[in-house]
Structure 1
Amino acid sequence: MNKTLFTLIFALLMLGAGTLSTAYAQSSGDLYQGLTRGMPDGRTVIPYGLEVTFDKTTHLIFPAPIRYVDLGSANIVASRAESAENVLRVKASVKDFETETNMSVICNDGSFYAFNVKYANEPEKLSLEMVDFLHASEGNLPSNKADIYFKELGNETPTLVRLLMSTIHKQNKRLVKHISAKQFGMQFGLKGIYVHNGLLYFHTFIRNTTNMRYQIDYVTFKVVDKAVTKQTAIQETILQPLRAYNDLAVVAPKSELRTIYALEAFSLPEGKILEISLHELNGGRTLTFTVDNKDLVRARAIDDLELRF
């Protein structure tokens, strides 16, 4: 092989190697130097476009308390409003930053929101209300619906828990007719007990027949001794609801309020009852009713319910 031919072959080999190197450098995003495949479009959460600036604050109002916030870079800062758990404040920490960044938010209802964030001297929108994931479009859940699990809900997603409570509220069936307390022109009672995947759902109602509004302070769930005297110390266990649906603070005059509470499933030991109490803010109109174990074990399975979006 003469010198000229050798030089030509070497040049061609080097050119091919350079082309191959360039091909690897300019990745399409589908292959990462191995056997992989691209993410399917149907599982992609489409981000919202968000503009922020240095001298003004952008407020995002979510339909549920904010659980988690992640920022893509230090060019933006975000924090929850002190007295409103569902309001997020966002602004630029650096003036005129050029590189677009991102932000992710998870709410207590299991909804997931993604944002692509860029700088603008004068953002067009400074106050934004995000849509609840239950607000369906053409029968389909929006893209911010995600199968996110929280530890306190066990094997249930917040999305499904909220949807189940919403369905119970819309159907408004009176499965239990013998459990309520009546006093002071008020009635506090139970309309139904449901069970699904390790959670109990209590459908309660408050009826106000007076001309005065009833301002709710709190509702308690306690497991107490079934029969005690006034001199006997009551052994009680406080149960904390994991979620509440339509949990409003005021019952208007001549009106009714219905609320669904989700609790971890339980049964009552011998000699114990469940005591559910309604407490008035700055008032003495406290109403209490009790639930026996025989009522708990008759809880209706929610599997037969038609879920309503």
Structure 2
Amino acid sequence: MNIVIIRITLVMLILFCIKTSAQDTLPNNRPLPGWIKPYKAEVAYDKTTHILFPSAIRYVDIGSEYIVAEVAGDADNVLRVKASVPDFEIETNLSVVTHDGRFYSFNVHYNANPIVTNYDLLKVQQEESRKLGSDVLLRELGNDPSSLVGLVMETLYKKDKKVVRHIGSKSFGIQFLLKGIYIHNGKYYFHTELRNHTHVPFDVDFINFKIVDKKIAKRTVIQETPVIPLRTYKNQDGVGGKSTDRNIFLLDRFTLASDKMLLIEIFEKNGGRHQVLQVENEDLIRAKLISDMHLRF
């Protein structure tokens, strides 16, 4: 009798465990809500795997000593991963937390010749919404993701508005204009236009931004401070005969003392039709606020 009771108890216990186990998964073998599905990643000993996240990386944890991981320099949302030993057979894992509060999990396998070495975690979302795209956050751009900066530049370029009308240079049939100065999140956007009124192409050697003293701006410059653009909308190699070309330059915010001015110089390759724009502090402080222009990003 006792044996029968024990057997019945064991059967009931087994049935209870089966029922409980079944309740731990959703229909169609889907995991419970809150279960984070890990990504699959392959690493090699002689190759580096790069993983692009939608936000800056805050925390990284590796599951074993078989792999090493580090943030890629100034790109705060790019993680470099490699195998620390060749040909490891055991699966390991990698966990990452980003500044936007998201948690990512990876199951990592060794492959001496991985098919994929660059992983973009938001490629699908980027197609749905550009704001959710895979942006490399560079420290030089501050809090602006690179896609937002690129989108602002693209919008200004396509709108092609002329909000500055008094800054220009013209000689030898070449005209160089500053069409606008804009500001957004502590960054300047300079919109320039190069017109060639001749049939002779103008090949650009280089474009230079620098701060100089007003009293020597028209002479040989001795005291000058270079201003390096953070980003350029496109490469500007030149402009053909009877043609026009424009560009957008991204610069860090700055102001000028009363005895200083900003020079924007464009030099012709193997030629002498150089052009110079002179920008004063009054022009900078009148920069058009991007948000006031009702641009759609």
Pick the TM interval, shorter chain: 0.5 to 0.7
C-alpha separation in 1, matches of 2:110 and 2:272 = 54
Give the counterpart letter for 2:177 in structure 1: G
Mind listing any 5+ residue stretches in structure 1 that lack a counterpart?
1-39, 81-86, 107-111
C-alpha separation in 2, matches of 1:129 and 1:211 = 47
C-alpha separation in 1, matches of 2:162 and 2:38 = 42
2:215 to 227, 239, 249: 227
C-alpha separation in 2, matches of 1:282 and 1:92 = 50
Q: Which residue of 2 aligns with 1:51?
A: 42
C-alpha separation in 2, matches of 1:196 and 1:49 = 39
Mind listing any 5+ residue stretches in structure 2 that lack a counterpart?
1-33, 72-77
C-alpha separation in 1, matches of 2:258 and 2:285 = 14
Write the deviation string for residues 284-304 of structure 1: whole angstroms up to 9, x where unpaired.
553211113332232111112
C-alpha separation in 2, matches of 1:307 and 1:125 = 41
Q: Which residue of 2 aligns with 1:125?
A: 115
Write the deviation string for residues 124-166 of structure 1: whole angstroms up to 9, x where unpaired.
7346585998x843346336459x683x556x43454444333
Is 1:248 the counterpart of 2:235? The answer is: yes
RMSD (Å), alpha carbons: 5.0
- How has the CA–CA distance of structure 1 residues 287 and 229 changed in structure 2, closer, same or farther, with 3 Å as cutoff? closer
> Displacement of 1:228 after TM fit?
3.5
Give the counterpart letter for 1:214 in structure 2: D
Write the deviation string for residues 82-109 of structure 1: whole angstroms up to 9, x where unpaired.
xxxxx998654431342334487x9xxx
- How has the CA–CA distance of structure 1 residues 140 and 252 changed in structure 2, closer, same or farther, with 3 Å as cutoff? closer
Q: Which residue of 2 aligns with 1:99?
A: 91
TM-score normalised by L of structure 2: 0.59
Q: Which residue of 1 aligns with 2:277?
A: 289
- Residues 66, 88 of structure 2: 8 Å contact kept: no
Q: Secondary structure at the match of 2:155?
A: helix
Identity of counterpart residues, as a percentage?
Answer: 38
> Displacement of 1:175 after TM fit?
1.5
1:178 to 144, 166, 169: 166
Is 1:267 the counterpart of 2:255? The answer is: yes
Q: Secondary structure at the match of 2:132?
A: coil
Q: Between Structure 1 and Structure 2, how many residues are aligned? A: 250
Aligned residue runs from structure 1 range 1-309, under 5 A: 49-54=40-45, 57=47, 72=62, 75-76=66-67, 92-94=83-85, 95-102=87-94, 116=106, 118-119=108-109, 121=111, 125-126=115-116, 130=120, 136-139=126-129, 141-142=131-132, 144=134, 150=139, 152-153=140-141, 156-159=143-146, 160-183=148-171, 186-207=174-195, 210=199, 212=201, 214-217=203-206, 219-228=207-216, 234-241=222-229, 243-248=230-235, 250-251=237-238, 253-254=240-241, 256-280=244-268, 285-309=273-297
C-alpha separation in 2, matches of 1:210 and 1:101 = 63
- How has the CA–CA distance of structure 1 residues 145 and 272 changed in structure 2, closer, same or farther, with 3 Å as cutoff? closer
Q: Secondary structure at the match of 1:137?
A: helix
Give the counterpart letter for 2:108 in structure 1: K
- Residues 274, 291 of structure 1: 8 Å contact kept: yes
TM-score normalised by L of structure 1: 0.57
